[in-house]
Amino acid sequence: MLTSALLIALSSPMQLGTNIPQVQNNSAHHQIRCIMQNVGQPYDVLEMPWLRARQELRLRRIDGYYTAILLSEMAPFGQLSAPLYLENWYWFVAPSAQSLPKELRQYGVVRGSHQAKWFESLGITPTVEVNTIEELLLVLKRKRIDTVLMDLETFVETAPRVGLDTEHFSSDFFRYVPLGVYFSSRYLHEKPDFLAAFNHNIPLCTQTPFTLSEREKVQIKNQLFMAATHLSQDPRIITAVHEANHQPTSQEQIALLDKQWAHELTLNISGLAVSLQQSALSRYLHTWQQQFSGQVAEVMLVDQQGRNVAISEITSDYWQGDEAKFQQAMQEAQPYYFDTVSFDASTQRFLVHLSIPLYDKKTDDNTPGTNENPLVPAPPIGMLMLGIDVELSLQKCAQSLSALDCS
Protein backbone atom coordinates (compact mmCIF):
# COMPACT_ATOMS: atom_id res chain seq x y z
CA MET A 1 0.00 0.00 0.00
CA LEU A 2 1.16 3.55 -0.78
CA THR A 3 1.17 6.05 2.07
CA SER A 4 -0.91 9.23 1.91
CA ALA A 5 2.27 11.27 1.57
CA LEU A 6 3.34 9.27 -1.44
CA LEU A 7 -0.10 9.59 -3.03
CA ILE A 8 0.19 13.36 -2.69
CA ALA A 9 3.71 13.25 -4.14
CA LEU A 10 2.41 11.33 -7.14
CA SER A 11 -0.29 13.88 -7.94
CA SER A 12 1.33 15.45 -11.04
CA PRO A 13 0.55 13.57 -14.29
CA MET A 14 3.18 11.14 -15.50
CA GLN A 15 4.03 11.40 -19.21
CA LEU A 16 3.95 7.98 -20.89
CA GLY A 17 4.76 7.26 -24.52
CA THR A 18 3.27 4.28 -26.30
CA ASN A 19 3.32 2.67 -29.72
CA ILE A 20 -0.22 1.35 -29.24
CA PRO A 21 -3.00 3.51 -30.74
CA GLN A 22 -5.42 4.56 -28.03
CA VAL A 23 -8.39 3.78 -30.26
CA GLN A 24 -7.26 0.14 -30.08
CA ASN A 25 -8.91 -1.93 -27.34
CA ASN A 26 -5.57 -3.26 -26.13
CA SER A 27 -5.07 -5.09 -22.83
CA ALA A 28 -1.95 -3.01 -22.06
CA HIS A 29 -4.07 0.18 -21.98
CA HIS A 30 -6.52 -1.45 -19.56
CA GLN A 31 -3.73 -2.68 -17.30
CA ILE A 32 -1.97 0.69 -17.18
CA ARG A 33 -5.25 2.44 -16.38
CA CYS A 34 -6.04 -0.06 -13.61
CA ILE A 35 -2.56 0.08 -12.06
CA MET A 36 -2.37 3.87 -12.12
CA GLN A 37 -5.79 4.12 -10.48
CA ASN A 38 -4.68 1.69 -7.77
CA VAL A 39 -1.51 3.66 -6.95
CA GLY A 40 -3.22 7.05 -7.31
CA GLN A 41 -1.00 8.24 -10.15
CA PRO A 42 -2.52 10.46 -12.88
CA TYR A 43 -0.86 10.11 -16.27
CA ASP A 44 -1.00 11.33 -19.86
CA VAL A 45 -0.49 9.04 -22.85
CA LEU A 46 1.42 10.23 -25.92
CA GLU A 47 1.30 8.10 -29.06
CA MET A 48 4.71 7.66 -30.69
CA PRO A 49 6.80 5.00 -32.49
CA TRP A 50 9.27 2.82 -30.56
CA LEU A 51 12.32 4.72 -31.80
CA ARG A 52 10.94 8.10 -30.82
CA ALA A 53 9.81 6.82 -27.39
CA ARG A 54 13.30 5.61 -26.60
CA GLN A 55 14.77 8.93 -27.75
CA GLU A 56 12.25 10.99 -25.76
CA LEU A 57 13.05 9.03 -22.60
CA ARG A 58 16.79 9.55 -23.12
CA LEU A 59 16.15 13.30 -23.46
CA ARG A 60 13.99 13.27 -20.29
CA ARG A 61 10.94 14.51 -22.15
CA ILE A 62 8.78 11.59 -21.03
CA ASP A 63 8.71 9.54 -17.82
CA GLY A 64 8.30 6.14 -19.46
CA TYR A 65 6.96 4.20 -22.44
CA TYR A 66 5.12 0.95 -23.11
CA THR A 67 5.10 -1.74 -24.27
CA ALA A 68 8.83 -2.26 -23.88
CA ILE A 69 11.44 -5.01 -23.76
CA LEU A 70 14.68 -4.97 -21.79
CA LEU A 71 17.39 -3.36 -23.93
CA SER A 72 21.00 -3.04 -22.78
CA GLU A 73 21.31 0.29 -24.59
CA MET A 74 18.56 1.73 -22.38
CA ALA A 75 20.03 0.55 -19.06
CA PRO A 76 21.67 3.92 -18.20
CA PHE A 77 18.39 5.75 -18.79
CA GLY A 78 15.75 3.71 -17.01
CA GLN A 79 14.39 0.46 -15.66
CA LEU A 80 11.84 -2.02 -17.02
CA SER A 81 8.85 -2.93 -14.88
CA ALA A 82 7.76 -6.49 -14.20
CA PRO A 83 5.98 -7.97 -17.27
CA LEU A 84 2.52 -6.67 -18.12
CA TYR A 85 2.16 -9.64 -20.43
CA LEU A 86 4.20 -11.98 -22.61
CA GLU A 87 4.59 -12.18 -26.35
CA ASN A 88 5.16 -15.56 -27.95
CA TRP A 89 7.65 -15.04 -30.80
CA TYR A 90 7.74 -17.49 -33.71
CA TRP A 91 9.59 -17.62 -37.00
CA PHE A 92 7.07 -17.82 -39.85
CA VAL A 93 8.58 -19.13 -43.08
CA ALA A 94 6.98 -19.31 -46.52
CA PRO A 95 7.00 -22.71 -48.33
CA SER A 96 9.55 -21.47 -50.89
CA ALA A 97 12.17 -20.79 -48.19
CA GLN A 98 11.70 -23.70 -45.82
CA SER A 99 14.51 -25.73 -47.39
CA LEU A 100 16.87 -22.75 -47.61
CA PRO A 101 19.66 -22.11 -45.09
CA LYS A 102 18.71 -19.29 -42.73
CA GLU A 103 21.38 -16.97 -44.12
CA LEU A 104 19.78 -17.16 -47.59
CA ARG A 105 16.26 -16.25 -46.52
CA GLN A 106 14.67 -12.85 -47.18
CA TYR A 107 13.67 -11.24 -43.87
CA GLY A 108 11.20 -8.45 -43.23
CA VAL A 109 10.70 -6.36 -40.11
CA VAL A 110 8.74 -3.38 -38.79
CA ARG A 111 11.08 -0.41 -38.57
CA GLY A 112 12.18 0.35 -35.01
CA SER A 113 10.27 -2.63 -33.57
CA HIS A 114 11.42 -4.99 -30.84
CA GLN A 115 12.00 -7.63 -33.50
CA ALA A 116 14.22 -5.18 -35.38
CA LYS A 117 16.41 -4.91 -32.28
CA TRP A 118 16.62 -8.68 -32.08
CA PHE A 119 17.58 -8.91 -35.75
CA GLU A 120 20.39 -6.50 -34.95
CA SER A 121 21.57 -8.67 -32.03
CA LEU A 122 21.37 -11.82 -34.19
CA GLY A 123 23.38 -10.24 -37.01
CA ILE A 124 20.44 -10.39 -39.46
CA THR A 125 20.08 -7.60 -42.01
CA PRO A 126 16.42 -7.40 -43.09
CA THR A 127 15.65 -7.26 -46.80
CA VAL A 128 12.64 -5.02 -46.24
CA GLU A 129 11.67 -2.59 -43.47
CA VAL A 130 8.11 -1.28 -43.22
CA ASN A 131 6.11 0.83 -40.79
CA THR A 132 3.30 -1.49 -39.64
CA ILE A 133 2.49 -5.16 -39.05
CA GLU A 134 -0.13 -5.04 -41.81
CA GLU A 135 2.44 -3.74 -44.31
CA LEU A 136 4.87 -6.47 -43.26
CA LEU A 137 2.38 -9.27 -43.95
CA LEU A 138 1.38 -7.68 -47.25
CA VAL A 139 5.03 -7.74 -48.30
CA LEU A 140 5.15 -11.38 -47.24
CA LYS A 141 2.00 -12.07 -49.25
CA ARG A 142 3.57 -10.48 -52.36
CA LYS A 143 6.66 -12.72 -51.89
CA ARG A 144 9.14 -9.86 -51.57
CA ILE A 145 10.23 -11.57 -48.34
CA ASP A 146 9.84 -15.13 -47.10
CA THR A 147 10.49 -14.98 -43.33
CA VAL A 148 9.20 -12.88 -40.44
CA LEU A 149 9.64 -12.99 -36.64
CA MET A 150 6.37 -12.15 -34.94
CA ASP A 151 4.16 -12.73 -31.93
CA LEU A 152 2.01 -15.81 -32.61
CA GLU A 153 -1.27 -14.15 -31.66
CA THR A 154 -0.50 -11.06 -33.74
CA PHE A 155 0.34 -13.17 -36.79
CA VAL A 156 -2.83 -15.27 -36.48
CA GLU A 157 -5.03 -12.17 -36.05
CA THR A 158 -3.43 -10.03 -38.76
CA ALA A 159 -2.94 -12.55 -41.59
CA PRO A 160 -6.67 -12.89 -42.45
CA ARG A 161 -7.09 -9.10 -42.50
CA VAL A 162 -4.56 -8.77 -45.31
CA GLY A 163 -5.63 -11.94 -47.13
CA LEU A 164 -2.46 -13.91 -46.39
CA ASP A 165 -2.96 -17.67 -46.77
CA THR A 166 -0.82 -19.21 -44.01
CA GLU A 167 -1.78 -22.85 -44.50
CA HIS A 168 1.64 -23.98 -45.74
CA PHE A 169 3.80 -21.63 -43.66
CA SER A 170 6.07 -23.29 -41.11
CA SER A 171 6.10 -21.86 -37.59
CA ASP A 172 9.03 -22.45 -35.25
CA PHE A 173 9.14 -21.22 -31.66
CA PHE A 174 11.84 -18.64 -30.97
CA ARG A 175 11.31 -17.26 -27.45
CA TYR A 176 8.95 -15.60 -25.00
CA VAL A 177 9.35 -11.86 -24.60
CA PRO A 178 8.17 -10.05 -21.46
CA LEU A 179 6.68 -6.63 -22.20
CA GLY A 180 6.45 -3.96 -19.55
CA VAL A 181 6.81 -0.23 -18.97
CA TYR A 182 10.23 1.35 -19.23
CA PHE A 183 10.42 4.09 -16.58
CA SER A 184 13.08 6.78 -16.66
CA SER A 185 15.86 6.74 -14.06
CA ARG A 186 15.11 10.37 -13.30
CA TYR A 187 11.49 9.65 -12.44
CA LEU A 188 12.32 6.58 -10.34
CA HIS A 189 14.94 8.56 -8.46
CA GLU A 190 12.33 11.20 -7.62
CA LYS A 191 9.70 8.57 -6.69
CA PRO A 192 11.72 5.69 -5.19
CA ASP A 193 8.65 3.75 -3.96
CA PHE A 194 6.71 3.96 -7.22
CA LEU A 195 8.13 0.99 -9.15
CA ALA A 196 7.54 -1.47 -6.30
CA ALA A 197 3.93 -0.28 -6.01
CA PHE A 198 3.46 -0.48 -9.79
CA ASN A 199 4.86 -4.03 -9.96
CA HIS A 200 2.75 -5.13 -6.99
CA ASN A 201 -0.42 -4.12 -8.84
CA ILE A 202 0.38 -5.81 -12.15
CA PRO A 203 -1.10 -9.23 -11.25
CA LEU A 204 -4.09 -7.50 -9.62
CA CYS A 205 -4.87 -5.79 -12.94
CA THR A 206 -4.11 -8.67 -15.31
CA GLN A 207 -7.17 -9.52 -17.41
CA THR A 208 -6.02 -12.57 -19.34
CA PRO A 209 -3.25 -14.83 -17.98
CA PHE A 210 -0.75 -16.16 -20.52
CA THR A 211 -1.56 -19.74 -21.48
CA LEU A 212 0.10 -22.28 -23.74
CA SER A 213 -1.50 -22.98 -27.10
CA GLU A 214 -2.88 -26.47 -27.60
CA ARG A 215 -0.01 -27.21 -29.96
CA GLU A 216 2.56 -26.16 -27.35
CA LYS A 217 0.86 -28.29 -24.68
CA VAL A 218 1.12 -31.32 -26.96
CA GLN A 219 4.78 -30.63 -27.69
CA ILE A 220 5.71 -30.39 -24.02
CA LYS A 221 3.52 -33.33 -23.07
CA ASN A 222 5.16 -35.52 -25.73
CA GLN A 223 8.59 -34.78 -24.28
CA LEU A 224 7.89 -35.27 -20.58
CA PHE A 225 4.58 -36.98 -19.88
CA MET A 226 5.71 -40.57 -20.29
CA ALA A 227 8.62 -40.15 -17.87
CA ALA A 228 6.46 -38.22 -15.42
CA THR A 229 3.71 -40.84 -15.54
CA HIS A 230 6.25 -43.56 -14.83
CA LEU A 231 7.51 -41.54 -11.85
CA SER A 232 3.96 -41.04 -10.57
CA GLN A 233 3.51 -44.82 -10.35
CA ASP A 234 6.71 -45.37 -8.36
CA PRO A 235 5.83 -47.28 -5.12
CA ARG A 236 7.86 -44.76 -3.10
CA ILE A 237 5.64 -41.97 -4.37
CA ILE A 238 2.39 -43.80 -3.67
CA THR A 239 3.50 -44.89 -0.20
CA ALA A 240 4.60 -41.39 0.81
CA VAL A 241 1.30 -39.85 -0.28
CA HIS A 242 -0.72 -42.52 1.54
CA GLU A 243 1.24 -41.89 4.73
CA ALA A 244 0.60 -38.14 4.47
CA ASN A 245 -3.12 -38.67 3.81
CA HIS A 246 -3.39 -40.80 6.93
CA GLN A 247 -2.21 -37.80 8.97
CA PRO A 248 -4.55 -34.97 7.90
CA THR A 249 -4.07 -31.44 9.20
CA SER A 250 -6.66 -28.80 10.03
CA GLN A 251 -6.91 -25.80 7.73
CA GLU A 252 -5.81 -23.56 10.60
CA GLN A 253 -2.66 -25.63 11.12
CA ILE A 254 -1.93 -25.64 7.38
CA ALA A 255 -2.16 -21.83 7.36
CA LEU A 256 0.27 -21.61 10.29
CA LEU A 257 2.75 -23.97 8.62
CA ASP A 258 2.47 -22.08 5.32
CA LYS A 259 3.19 -18.79 7.14
CA GLN A 260 6.14 -20.33 9.01
CA TRP A 261 7.51 -21.77 5.73
CA ALA A 262 7.43 -18.36 4.02
CA HIS A 263 8.78 -16.52 7.08
CA GLU A 264 11.78 -18.83 7.37
CA LEU A 265 12.57 -18.41 3.67
CA THR A 266 12.41 -14.62 4.01
CA LEU A 267 14.88 -14.72 6.92
CA ASN A 268 17.02 -17.38 5.18
CA ILE A 269 16.46 -19.72 8.13
CA SER A 270 17.07 -23.45 7.68
CA GLY A 271 13.61 -24.62 8.72
CA LEU A 272 10.64 -26.49 7.27
CA ALA A 273 11.55 -26.10 3.60
CA VAL A 274 15.20 -27.12 3.95
CA SER A 275 14.27 -30.06 6.18
CA LEU A 276 11.78 -31.38 3.61
CA GLN A 277 14.17 -30.83 0.71
CA GLN A 278 16.77 -32.97 2.48
CA SER A 279 14.47 -35.99 2.87
CA ALA A 280 15.31 -39.17 0.97
CA LEU A 281 12.29 -38.84 -1.33
CA SER A 282 13.03 -35.19 -2.11
CA ARG A 283 16.61 -36.07 -3.00
CA TYR A 284 15.26 -38.83 -5.27
CA LEU A 285 13.02 -36.29 -7.04
CA HIS A 286 15.99 -33.95 -7.45
CA THR A 287 18.07 -36.75 -9.03
CA TRP A 288 15.17 -37.64 -11.35
CA GLN A 289 14.89 -33.99 -12.38
CA GLN A 290 18.54 -33.76 -13.47
CA GLN A 291 18.08 -36.07 -16.46
CA PHE A 292 16.19 -33.32 -18.32
CA SER A 293 19.07 -30.81 -18.48
CA GLY A 294 17.12 -27.83 -17.15
CA GLN A 295 13.78 -28.52 -18.82
CA VAL A 296 12.31 -29.57 -15.47
CA ALA A 297 12.92 -26.75 -12.99
CA GLU A 298 11.20 -28.34 -9.99
CA VAL A 299 9.17 -31.37 -8.93
CA MET A 300 6.58 -31.24 -6.16
CA LEU A 301 4.71 -34.15 -4.61
CA VAL A 302 1.59 -33.14 -2.66
CA ASP A 303 -1.14 -35.05 -0.83
CA GLN A 304 -4.94 -34.76 -1.06
CA GLN A 305 -4.89 -31.56 0.99
CA GLY A 306 -2.27 -29.94 -1.22
CA ARG A 307 0.48 -30.16 1.41
CA ASN A 308 4.06 -30.64 0.24
CA VAL A 309 5.17 -34.25 0.74
CA ALA A 310 8.47 -34.02 -1.16
CA ILE A 311 10.19 -31.26 -3.19
CA SER A 312 13.15 -31.37 -5.55
CA GLU A 313 13.79 -27.63 -5.03
CA ILE A 314 12.81 -25.12 -2.36
CA THR A 315 9.27 -23.88 -3.08
CA SER A 316 7.88 -20.49 -2.08
CA ASP A 317 4.87 -22.09 -0.36
CA TYR A 318 4.22 -25.10 1.84
CA TRP A 319 0.58 -25.42 0.75
CA GLN A 320 -0.36 -25.79 -2.91
CA GLY A 321 -4.04 -26.43 -2.22
CA ASP A 322 -5.14 -22.88 -3.01
CA GLU A 323 -3.54 -22.80 -6.46
CA ALA A 324 -5.04 -23.67 -9.84
CA LYS A 325 -2.34 -26.22 -10.60
CA PHE A 326 -3.73 -28.27 -7.70
CA GLN A 327 -7.43 -27.39 -7.64
CA GLN A 328 -8.11 -27.68 -11.36
CA ALA A 329 -6.16 -30.91 -11.71
CA MET A 330 -8.05 -32.46 -8.78
CA GLN A 331 -11.45 -31.43 -10.15
CA GLU A 332 -11.13 -32.07 -13.88
CA ALA A 333 -10.54 -35.84 -13.67
CA GLN A 334 -8.09 -35.61 -16.58
CA PRO A 335 -4.72 -37.42 -16.85
CA TYR A 336 -2.85 -34.08 -16.74
CA TYR A 337 -3.36 -30.34 -16.41
CA PHE A 338 -1.27 -27.33 -17.56
CA ASP A 339 -1.60 -24.08 -15.62
CA THR A 340 -0.76 -20.61 -16.93
CA VAL A 341 2.77 -19.51 -17.79
CA SER A 342 4.51 -17.50 -15.07
CA PHE A 343 7.62 -15.34 -15.28
CA ASP A 344 10.27 -15.78 -12.58
CA ALA A 345 11.99 -12.41 -12.42
CA SER A 346 14.85 -13.71 -10.27
CA THR A 347 15.88 -16.39 -12.78
CA GLN A 348 14.41 -14.77 -15.93
CA ARG A 349 12.69 -18.10 -16.71
CA PHE A 350 9.18 -18.81 -17.94
CA LEU A 351 7.62 -21.72 -16.08
CA VAL A 352 4.45 -23.74 -16.55
CA HIS A 353 3.33 -26.47 -14.18
CA LEU A 354 2.24 -29.85 -15.46
CA SER A 355 0.08 -31.53 -12.82
CA ILE A 356 -0.52 -35.28 -12.86
CA PRO A 357 -3.16 -36.71 -10.49
CA LEU A 358 -2.00 -39.76 -8.54
CA TYR A 359 -4.04 -42.93 -8.20
CA ASP A 360 -3.30 -46.13 -6.30
CA LYS A 361 -4.66 -48.90 -8.51
CA LYS A 362 -4.30 -51.43 -5.69
CA THR A 363 -6.66 -49.53 -3.39
CA ASP A 364 -8.99 -47.66 -5.74
CA ASP A 365 -11.66 -50.34 -5.41
CA ASN A 366 -11.63 -49.91 -1.63
CA THR A 367 -11.75 -46.13 -1.63
CA PRO A 368 -14.67 -44.96 0.55
CA GLY A 369 -17.65 -43.85 -1.55
CA THR A 370 -16.66 -45.56 -4.79
CA ASN A 371 -18.24 -48.94 -4.18
CA GLU A 372 -21.67 -47.38 -3.64
CA ASN A 373 -21.51 -45.83 -7.09
CA PRO A 374 -19.00 -47.55 -9.37
CA LEU A 375 -19.62 -44.95 -12.08
CA VAL A 376 -17.98 -42.29 -9.89
CA PRO A 377 -14.17 -42.57 -10.18
CA ALA A 378 -12.05 -42.62 -7.06
CA PRO A 379 -10.58 -39.19 -6.27
CA PRO A 380 -6.84 -38.70 -6.72
CA ILE A 381 -4.78 -39.53 -3.66
CA GLY A 382 -2.42 -36.65 -4.42
CA MET A 383 -0.63 -34.79 -7.16
CA LEU A 384 2.76 -34.82 -8.91
CA MET A 385 3.63 -31.36 -10.24
CA LEU A 386 6.45 -30.55 -12.65
CA GLY A 387 7.63 -26.97 -13.05
CA ILE A 388 8.75 -26.85 -16.68
CA ASP A 389 11.01 -24.30 -18.38
CA VAL A 390 8.75 -23.51 -21.33
CA GLU A 391 11.36 -21.87 -23.53
CA LEU A 392 13.86 -24.70 -23.20
CA SER A 393 11.19 -27.28 -23.96
CA LEU A 394 9.80 -25.50 -27.02
CA GLN A 395 13.25 -24.62 -28.33
CA LYS A 396 14.32 -28.24 -27.99
CA CYS A 397 11.21 -29.23 -29.89
CA ALA A 398 11.89 -26.70 -32.66
CA GLN A 399 15.45 -28.03 -33.05
CA SER A 400 14.39 -31.68 -32.97
CA LEU A 401 13.72 -33.83 -36.00
CA SER A 402 11.79 -36.32 -33.90
CA ALA A 403 8.10 -36.62 -34.72
CA LEU A 404 7.58 -37.92 -31.19
CA ASP A 405 8.83 -34.65 -29.71
CA CYS A 406 7.16 -32.19 -32.04
CA SER A 407 4.09 -33.78 -33.57
Burial class (CB within 10 angstroms; exposed 0-12, middle 13-18, buried 19+) of 52: middle
Mean pLDDT of 364-381: 59
For the stretch 93-113, pLDDT in tens is: 999 999 999 999 999 999 988
Res. 367: pLDDT tops 60: no
Whether domain 4-85+179-205 has CATH 3.40.190.10: the reply is: yes
Question: For residue 360, what pLDDT band results from cuts at 50, 70 and 90?
Answer: confident
What is the pTM (predicted TM-score) of this model? 0.76
Residue 373 confidence class, pLDDT cut points 50, 70, 90: low
**Model confidence band, residue 402 (pLDDT cutoffs 50, 70, 90):** very low
CATH number for 214-406 (one of 3.40.50.20, 3.40.710.10, 3.90.1530.10, 3.30.450.20): it is 3.30.450.20
Structural domain spans, the chain:
4-85+179-205, 87-177, 214-406
pLDDT band of residue 1 (cuts 50, 70, 90) is very low
**SS3 for 123?**
coil
- pLDDT value at position 135? 96
Q: How many percent of the chain have pLDDT more than 90?
A: 67
Higher pLDDT, 84 or 372: 84
Note the pLDDT of residue 4.
29
Q: What pLDDT score does 204 carry?
A: 86
CB 265 within 8 A of CB 316: yes
In this prediction, residue 370 carries a pLDDT of: 44
Domains 4-85+179-205 and 87-177 share a fold: yes
Q: Residue 344's closest CA among 387, 290, 286?
A: 387
CA atoms within 13 A on the CB side of 147: 22
pLDDT band (50, 70, 90) for residue 368: very low
* Superfamily for the 87-177 domain: Periplasmic binding protein-like II (3.40.190.10)
What's 73's DSSP letter?
G
What stretches of 246-323 show up as alpha helix (H) in DSSP?
Answer: 251-266, 272-277, 280-290
Q: Kindly tell me if the per-residue pLDDT of 9 is higher than 50.
A: no
